[in-house]
Amino acid sequence: MPEIVTRFAPSPTGYLHIGGARTALFNWLYARGRGGRFLLRIEDTDRERSTSEATDAILRGLTWLGLDWDGEPISQFGRRDRHAKVAHEMLARGGAYKCFCTQDEIEAYRETAHAEGRSTLFQSPWRDADPASHPDAPYVIRLKAPRDGETVIKDAVQGDVTIRNDQLDDMVCLRSDGTPTYMLAVVVDDHDMGVTHVIRGDDHLNNAARQCQVYRAMGWDVPVFAHVPLIHGPDGKKLSKRHGAVGLEEYQAMGYPAAGMRNYLARLGWSHGDAEYFTDAQAKDWFDLKGIGRAPARLDFKKLENLSGQHIAATPDDELLPEIEAYLAAAGRPILSQSQKNGLSRALYCLKDRAKTFSELIEKAHFILGERPIVPDENASRALDAVSRGILTELTPQLQNASWERDVLEATVASVAEAHGIGLGKIAGPLRSALAGRTVSPSVFDMMLVIGREETLARLKDVTD
């Protein structure tokens, strides 16, 4: 069994699209789960639109998602000489020909074809021209695609897809300026890189037929294709900016942990029985092309949140803190001081099972991160009725004597509450407000343990005074 080689080949024209991230994840899982290699190729042959900033953003995104690639990223543009060489080789083999038509001529051809209701696929008059008649003018190299018969794409996801060859025109492989087109470049690169499995968006499904013809023209082995359906927005339309977040980095900035993102993205359009929550190891173990669905999937933030929350809860505290700091940086939020970090790391144990995102975790950590003195917000103040205020006053000296074991704390507070003929639930709310300054926070007892005796008493005093 030869080694599995997959690749992710984004074009650097913007941020890393969430759909692209999933495609990368699928390729990564497939290779990593089978001891294969996962390569990265930047498809930057479009010099107009490609930027190094976009390349950086893509690498950053992949790194954050935890998708490591083997070797250096390959620049497609850097391989243009090789592409040109292959184009000329096809020429020599008779699998391609020089076409001297200008773009205006082609456009005119399409217009009249359209007006006459004929196929607008361009048919070059140069296809079978005698080389002796070639003018000394700029030309493109076109694939001499078969006009009869059909091309069958054996797709691991879509099954056998048959396309009649008369639906495919002679695509341009080498532009008149000598640069390769994408269609040529992908095939040459995938072949040269030894890619065995091409897992990509199904927007390339039709292109695959043309690419097959290039493989044939060169006598190369065709890789296994797996065209996965695109991700759609919640309304079922193609995912675009109007749906909100489409760039992977936006998800990082919203506070989703990378592990949750991986889990969610893997599960979107792929399934392994009823498995919903799983680890990377399980995903690598289970991932296969057969489990990929054929219908486009819609983004569901609720499910993403749920999975994210589970992953945050499952992450060890010491790994969580760096991730939270990375989140704060990505979101452009204030970084943590050393004392805030110390406080937060002590509080993580009781914070992490209640946060679905890092953003939510930070919000719930208000009691430890907030400025002192903490002022109860409007809702909290309302909760502090006369009775609670009295109880809090009475509680302060009690807590002075209490040990800071959680169960002792509970018992202490409970006894005071009971003395007032009131359930602990009734006092816990106001108490929590007093300690945290707002209504979102972990258990009041956890808070006391985290912020310590001095701080707790000081805050109670603040409120009851």
What residues are labeled active site?
241
Could you tell me which of 185, 205, 207 has the C-alpha nearest to residue 195? 185
Shortest Å distance, C-beta 30 to RNA:
17
Is residue 162 close enough to count as binding RNA by CB under 7 A? yes
Q: Which is nearer to RNA, 106 or 156 (CB)?
A: 106
Is residue 351 close enough to count as binding RNA by CB under 7 A? no
* Separation between Cα atoms, residue 120 and residue 118, nearest integer Å: 6
Tokens of 232: 């759609």
**Per-residue contact track with RNA, 40 to 79, x per CB under 7 A?**
---xxxx--x--------------------------x---
Is residue 274 close enough to count as binding RNA by CB under 7 A? yes
Q: Which is nearer to RNA, 44 or 249 (CB)?
A: 44
Is residue 135 close enough to count as binding RNA by CB under 7 A? no
Size of the site for RNA (CB under 7 A): 86
Strand 297-298 relative to strand 37-42, pairing: unpaired
Q: Which is nearer to RNA, 293 or 334 (CB)?
A: 293
**Per-residue contact track with RNA, 428 to 447, x per CB under 7 A?**
xx--x------xxxxxxx--
- What Rg value do the Cα atoms of the chain yield, rounded? 31
Work out which of 4, 29, 140, 361 binds RNA, going by CB under 7 A.
Answer: 140
Work out which of 70, 73, 80, 106 binds RNA, going by CB under 7 A.
Answer: 106
- Which sign, positive or negative, has the C-alpha torsion 153, 154, 158, 161? positive
* Separation between Cα atoms, residue 447 and residue 365, nearest integer Å: 9
Tokens of 47: 């010099």
Residue 436 CB partners (closer than 8 Å, separation 6+): 366, 367, 370, 374, 380, 447
Which DSSP symbol is given to 272?
Answer: -
Per CB under 7 A, contacts with RNA among 305-334 are 305-306
Shortest Å distance, C-beta 10 to RNA:
7
Is residue 353 close enough to count as binding RNA by CB under 7 A? yes
* Separation between Cα atoms, residue 7 and residue 449, nearest integer Å: 50
Shortest Å distance, C-beta 298 to RNA:
4
Shortest Å distance, C-beta 47 to RNA:
8
Work out which of 71, 293, 390, 452 binds RNA, going by CB under 7 A.
Answer: 293
Work out which of 21, 31, 91, 172 binds RNA, going by CB under 7 A.
Answer: 172
Phi and psi, residue 313, nearest 5°? -65, -30
| Stretch of residues binding RNA (CB under 7 A), selected from 23-31, 59-67, 180-188, 374-382 | 180-188
CA angle 349, 351, 356 (to 5 degrees): 125
Work out which of 88, 175, 346, 389 binds RNA, going by CB under 7 A.
Answer: 175
Per CB under 7 A, contacts with RNA among 11-40 are 11
| Stretch of residues binding RNA (CB under 7 A), selected from 19-27, 168-176, 241-249, 322-330 | 168-176
Return the SS3 of 318.
helix
For residue 90, give the amino acid letter. Answer: M
Is residue 423 close enough to count as binding RNA by CB under 7 A? yes
Q: Which is nearer to RNA, 129 or 163 (CB)?
A: 163
Per CB under 7 A, contacts with RNA among 245-264 are none
Torsion angle, CA of 279/283/284/285, rounded to 10 degrees?
100
Q: Which is nearer to RNA, 305 or 323 (CB)?
A: 305
Q: Which is nearer to RNA, 77 or 330 (CB)?
A: 77
* Separation between Cα atoms, residue 66 and residue 259, nearest integer Å: 8
Phi and psi, residue 15, nearest 5°? -75, 175
Work out which of 82, 88, 243, 354 binds RNA, going by CB under 7 A.
Answer: 354
Q: Which is nearer to RNA, 36 or 430 (CB)?
A: 430
Per CB under 7 A, contacts with RNA among 206-245 are 206-207, 229-230, 232, 234, 236-238
Is residue 134 close enough to count as binding RNA by CB under 7 A? no
Could you tell me which of 249, 274, 197 has the C-alpha nearest to residue 33? 197
* Separation between Cα atoms, residue 26 and residue 10, nearest integer Å: 14
Return the SS3 of 292.
strand
Work out which of 66, 71, 78, 138 binds RNA, going by CB under 7 A.
Answer: 138
| The 172-174 sheet, strands edge to edge | 96-99, 140-143, 172-174
Work out which of 89, 300, 394, 405 binds RNA, going by CB under 7 A.
Answer: 300
| Stretch of residues binding RNA (CB under 7 A), selected from 241-249, 252-260, 292-300, 336-344 | 292-300
Work out which of 297, 402, 416, 451 binds RNA, going by CB under 7 A.
Answer: 297
**Per-residue contact track with RNA, 382 to 421, x per CB under 7 A?**
----------------------------x---x-------
* Separation between Cα atoms, residue 347 and residue 435, nearest integer Å: 14
| Whether 292 contacts 228, CB under 8 Å | yes
Residues in the chain: 465
Torsion angle, CA of 308/314/317/321, rounded to 10 degrees?
-20
Residue 465 CB partners (closer than 8 Å, separation 6+): none
